[in-house]
Chain A
Amino acid sequence: MLAIDGWFLIEDGLTYLLGSRCGDCGTIAFPPRPSCGHPRCAGTIPAPVRLSRTGTLWSYTNACYPPPPPFAAAEPYRPVTLAAVELDGLVVLGQVRDLTVADLRVGMTLELTSGPLADGPLIWMWGAPR
């Protein structure tokens, strides 16, 4: 089960973020938008688009204390690592799988993967390139 519908998909073991692309002005957005975000664009309904599966690490941090609900914190709690990754002209946040802040450097390449939230549903995650 995916933690949210329509934002990402997993196909043949590969995870893809699903953005939206405006047919009129080409604006790409994530999460997908129901209408174009460009203020001068009358905008047809943007079409879904798969975003790049790799990107450059823009910044990162971790949550040393369990975030509050509705986040489901694992017990015992292990710090969640968060990455902000630059791809397709955007910066997209995600949890980081199998790496800690000590393993990360701004500018390194990360690849999209997925993993479970502590209560089960799958979410996109950033990981080391395969």
Chain B
Amino acid sequence: MIRVNNLIKDYGQRRALCGLTFHAQQGEVVGFLGPNGAGKTTTMRILTGYMPPTEGEAIVAGYDVVSESLEVRKRVGYLPETVPLYNDMVVFDYLKFMADLRHLPDAEERVEEALELVGMIERANGYIGNLSKGMRQRVGLAQALLHRPEVLILDEPTIGLDPNQVVEIRNLIRELGKERTVLLSTHILSEAQQICDRVIIINKGQIIAEDTPENLQARLLGAKRVMIQVRGEADDVLPQIQAIPGVRQAVVNLDGTIEFEFLPTQDVRPRVARAIIEAGHELLEMRTISMSLEEIFLELTKDNAGLPM
């Protein structure tokens, strides 16, 4: 449903996206988690046909976002981060206008259906300018749902809402995500964990981690990262380390050192050391290092210190 390959976006001299690659299946709710300035909005604007990437390719609902932009836009529902709306319009008229731009044959019923879904039907005749932040958010969401899109792209859908509204919107998104593809962005870790089937963590225009919320949780709560150095070719040693149960994400770094992770419940370090020696290699160094993921999460959770993880 969404396939992104090596996406790069430059704003003038400044590189906002440095080669993103990810995908999302139908019926999957994928969360884009990252601090402000990570590149979430930029990615979403490219996926919705608002602006083209500098390099790379993005396929949404089977169409290329650059060469088949109109086809993509027909099939995508988008809630921009700033929730732009016409304040001098009545809610119903605004949605009817957007429905007409999409050539919906039963525009008025669709507007009512969307308003019903977001629980705003009783405000249909009010002016948008008089709505609270939470209501604006819901009108924006209704706009994104008008044409029953295959793909929903929601940029920080719960930002600025009060806790009750947040719960409502999250439930709605989960519901919508059952048969659609939903890509949503957030800078709140707990939100990503609650709503998403899969979380992509991005920072400074790069994907740092991609996993299910459960695995991310485990990695966060205690996964330890270890660096080891052996005499000789690291590539020869790698398969033996990878074969040890409990060793995760073992890789050879450019400088010839090896890195892997393990959960604290299962300290694999002695077994790794033994395996290296038994295989006839010499172990020069082994030490735990701080995970870059942890640093990102410190950054991420700094603004939301009060929220439960």
* A and B physically associate: no
